[in-house]
Structure 1
Amino acid sequence: MYKVVSLFAGCGGCDQGIVGDFTFNQKYYNRLPFELTYALDIDQKALNTHKLNFECGKSVCGDICEIPSEEIPECDILVGGFPCQSFSTVNPTKDPFDDRANLYKQMVRIAKDKQPKVIIAENVKGLMTLHKGQIFKRVKEAFEDAGYVLSYKLLNAANFGVPQKRERVIIVGFRKDLGMTFDFPEETNSNDWVPLSVAVPKLAIEEQKYYFSKRAVEGMKNAKPNMKRGLWQKLDEPCLTVTSHLAKVSLNSRDPVLLVDPEKELYRRFTPREAARIQSFPDEFVFAGSETDAYRQIGNAVPPVLFWHICNKVSKYLSNYE
C-alpha cells in the first residue's frame, strides 16, 4: 500500500477518491492501493466528517503555515486541493496574491522536504487564466523546482460520470528521478453525461424548509432584467457547479435550484444528500455537524468519482515502475 498525506483534506472528497471502495450511481469504484496516513485541515468541523468516514493514521486540525515538515510523516503520495477562493472566476475582484492564494507554497514546501513519489494538486479553472496565466506559471515552476515533472489538465467532472458540470485544474507531478510523465485518464462519459435525476430521484419533497418563499419568488420576478435568474436545473442534464454557499442559495444568484412546479411557482434548494450525490459522494458517506456545515463541506469538496479516475491511473503508473 502506498502511503498518502492529504493536505487541505476537508471532509474527504479527494480522499474518498484515493481510497476507492465505494459505489456511486450503481457503479463500484474499487479499492485502490493507497493508505491514508495523515490528514490536515484548518476546519475542525470538516475534519470531524473526515474522521467519521476514513481510517487515517493521524488527523490534525491546524494551520499548514504553522506545521513544520518534520511533523508530517514520510509518504509516497502528497495530495492537496489548496484553497482556491482567490483564483475563482466567480469573484475575480479578490486579490490573487493574498495569503490564501499563497498556500500552494506550503504544499510545495512539504513536497520539497518529504520528496514523495507523486504530488496531486487540484484547483479552480481560474488558476490557469488569472493575470494572463502568470499565477499558474508561478505554481507550476515552484513544483518543478521542488523536483517534479508536471502534467496538468482542465477536467470537467461531468465527463467522468459525475452529474455536475464542474471544471477543475488537476496537477499531477512525478518525482524527476522516477523518469515518468503522467498521461491523464481518458474520459468515460464525454458523450454520455450522467443526469441530475441520479441525484434527485424525487423532485417534490415534504420538508418545507427547502422551498423558497413566495416573497423570494416575487423578488426574483421583479428584479431588474440583468438580475432575473432563477437558475432551475433540468433533470435530464448534469447540474451546474454547486458551491460552498449551498445553505444560502438565492433565486437572484448564479446558484442552481430546482423548479418543482411551474404553475405554482414552487422552487427549492437541494437537500444535503442531493448535493452530496451531485458531487458523487456515496450515500453511505456521513456528514458531521449541522446542515449548514454539511453544505459548506460538500460545496468545497472534490468529486470523489473524478478523483478516483485520476488516482486509479496514478496507481497503474506506480505499479509499472515497480
Structure 2
Amino acid sequence: MSINQPSSVELFSGAGGLALGLANSGFKHEMLVEFNKDAVNTLLKNHDEGQSQIKNWDIQHEDVRNISFQKYKGNLSLVAGGPPCQPFSLGGKHKAFNDNRDMFPQAVRAVRESKPDSFIFENVKGLLRKNFSTYFEYIILQLSYPNISKKDGEDWESHLARLEETHTKGNYRGLKYNVVFRLLNAADYGVPQKRERVFIVGFRNDLNVEWSFPKATHSQDALLWDQWVTGDYWKRLKVAKSDRPKLNQSPEKIASRLQKKYGLFQPEEKPWVTVREAIQDLPSPKRKNDFNNHEFKDGAKSYPGHTGSPIDEPSKTLKAGDHGVPGGENMIRYNDDSIRYFTVREAARIQTFPDDYHIAGVWSECMRQIGNAVPVTLAEVVAKSIYQVIAPNRVTGGI
C-alpha cells in the first residue's frame, strides 16, 4: 500500500515563513494564496530564482475571497495560514470583527469547502485580550463546526448563539473538528526572538487523532545557567569580560538563584538562542559582502521605550507596525549601549529564514514582511508534530 505525501493549502502566506516551516516538516504545498503585492514579489523572486523549497510551489496573487477550495475536498491533509492580524494586534486599532481585514471567516470557509484532515492558524497574542474573548470563542466554534455557516443578514452574535446551542447539545453528526489553541513563545522552541503568538490547531473528528502541542525545547533559565553558572556561553562565543552585559544584579546572585532551583543539575531544556548566536558569523554590514539583504542602514536612535534588543538575549518581537516600522524592536543594542538597525538579513535570521531566501523590497517594506511572518523554525516544530499523526492516515484509498 503506497503512502501519499500529506498535502496542504496555505492562505495569507505573506513572505513565506509558515509555508517554509510546513514544507520542512514534510507537507507538500498544493497552493499558496497572498494578496499583498510586496509579499508576492518575495515569494515569486525566490520561486523564479529556484530557491530549493519554494521553486515548485503554486503561488496565487489573489484575494482569498475570490478563491474556491471545492476542488480540494477530501484531498488535503492540512489548511494553514495567518489571517491578517491587525484587527487583533496590540499595536493596531483593535477593531476585530468591525475591521474589514478580519479574514477568519475566509479561513473557516476554506476548511468548510476542502474538509482537510487538519488545520493550523497562527495569530497575534492580542487575539486573547479580554475584550476579544467572546469573538475568540466565536472563531473557535466556527472552526469546530464549519458547516454551520452564517446566514444572510445574520449578525455574528446570533450566529454565535446557534453555534453554542449546537456545541452544548453534543449530538452534532456533521463535519466537525476537535480544536485546541495555545499561546507559544518562539524563544522556547529555538527561535532567537521572544515572540508570543496564538496557534489554533484542529483535527477532523472522524480521524480520532490524539495530539498535543510540542513541549518547549529551550528556556531562559538554561540560557542564564549557560551564561552565569558555567560561563560556557561566553567561552563558546569568545566574548571577553569587558564585552559582557551590565546586570541589575550580580552574576553570583543569578547563579545562586538557579542553583537553588536546580541543584547541581542544569535545566533539561537547551538555552534560549540569542541575537549574538543568530548573527555571529555574518560580516559587518558596513563592509561589502556576499550575503543577500545584508546592507547597513543608518539613523538608529535610542530613547526611553525605544532601546533595541540586547545582543545576548533573544530579540524583542520583530513587528510590522501599523504606520511604519517601530525601530526599537528592530535595533541591536550592544553591551557598550551602542545601537544600530538590524539589516534585513539579520532580521530574517531572527525569524529563522534560510540565508538563500531573499526578502524583496526596500528596507522598511522588507522589515514589515519579516515582522508579519511566522518564524520558520516554530512553524516546522508545530507542523512536524501534526505531520506525524496525519501522515499514517494518508494511504491510497484511505481517508
TM above 0.5, one fold? yes
- Between the two proteins, the alignment pairs up a number of residues equal to 295
Q: CA deviation at 1:153?
A: 0.7
Per the alignment, do residues 144 and 298 of structure 1 end up closer, same or farther by CA in structure 2, a change over 3 Å counting?
A: same
Q: Judge conservation of contact 2:124–2:197 (CA < 8 Å) in 1.
A: yes
Pairs within 5 Å for 1:233-272: 233-245=309-321, 248-249=324-325, 254-260=328-334, 262=336, 266-272=338-344
TM-score (norm 2): 0.68
CA distance in 1, matches of 2:120, 2:276: 31
Which of 10, 14, 18 is 2:14 aligned to?
10
**Is residue 38 of structure 2 the alignment partner of residue 45 of structure 1?**
yes
State the Cα distance separating 1:204 from its structure 2 match.
6.0
Is the contact made by 2:78 and 2:120 (CA closer than 8 Å) also made in structure 1? yes
**Partner of residue 84, structure 1:** 85
| Matched letter for residue 196 of structure 2 | E
Corresponding position of 1:97: 97
* Structure with bigger gyration radius: 2
Percent identity of paired positions between Structure 1 and Structure 2: 31
* Cα displacement (A) at 1:261: 8.0
- SS for the counterpart of 1:299 is helix
Q: 2:353 aligns with which of 275, 281, 284?
A: 281
Does the 8 Å contact 1:6/1:79 carry over to 2?
Answer: yes
8 Å contact kept, 1:82–1:103: yes
Secondary structure (helix, strand or coil) at the match of 1:123 reads strand
8 A contact 1:2–1:75 mirrored in 2: yes
**Distance in 1 of aligned mates of 2:143 and 2:21:** 23
The Cα of 1:268 is off from its aligned counterpart by 1.4
Using the alignment, how far apart are the partners of 1:133 and 1:246 within structure 2?
Answer: 23
Quick check: 1:135 aligned with 2:139?
A: no
Q: What is the rounded CA distance, in whole Å, between the counterparts of 2:113 and 2:297 in structure 1?
A: 47
1:194 aligns with 2:273: yes
Indicate the SS of the match to 1:293: helix
Distance 2:305 2:136 in 1: 32
Does structure 1 retain, via aligned residues, the 8 Å contact 2:71–2:114? no
CA deviations 1:251-299 (Å, max 9, x no partner) are 6xx534223584xx74311100000011111212122333333222111
Q: Which residue of 2 aligns with 1:28?
A: none
- Where 2:213 maps in the other structure, the secondary structure is coil
- Tell me the equivalent position of 2:112: 112
- The 1-side partners of 2:6 and 2:333 are apart by 46
- Structure 1 residues 82-231: aligned runs within 5 Å: 82-91=83-92, 93-100=93-100, 102-131=102-131, 133-146=133-146, 147-190=176-219, 191=222, 192-201=271-280, 205-206=285-286, 210-212=297-299, 216=301, 220=303, 228-231=304-307
What is the alpha-carbon distance in structure 2 between the residues aligned to residue 210 and residue 247 of structure 1? 19
**2-structure distance, mates of 1:161, 1:198:** 11
**Alpha-carbon distance in 1 for matches of 2:323, 2:275:** 19
Question: In structure 1, the residue corresponding to 2:121 is in which secondary structure?
Answer: strand
> Of 351, 356, 373, which residue of structure 2 is paired with 1:301?
373
State the Cα RMSD in Å: 2.6
Gaps of 5+ in 1: 21-31, 221-227
**In 1, Cα distance between equivalents of 2:59 and 2:121:** 19
8 Å contact kept, 2:311–2:335 = no
Q: Secondary structure at the match of 1:170?
A: strand
> Which structure shows the higher strand fraction?
1
1:268 match: secondary structure:
strand
- TM-score with structure 1 setting the length: 0.83
Q: Check 1:239–1:189 CA distance in 2 against 1; reply closer, same or farther (3 A cut).
A: same
Distance of 2:69 and 2:367 partners within structure 1: 32
Cα distance in 2 for partners of 1:205, 1:80 equals 33
Partner of 2:61: 61
Conserved? CA contact 1:161–1:305, under 8 Å: yes
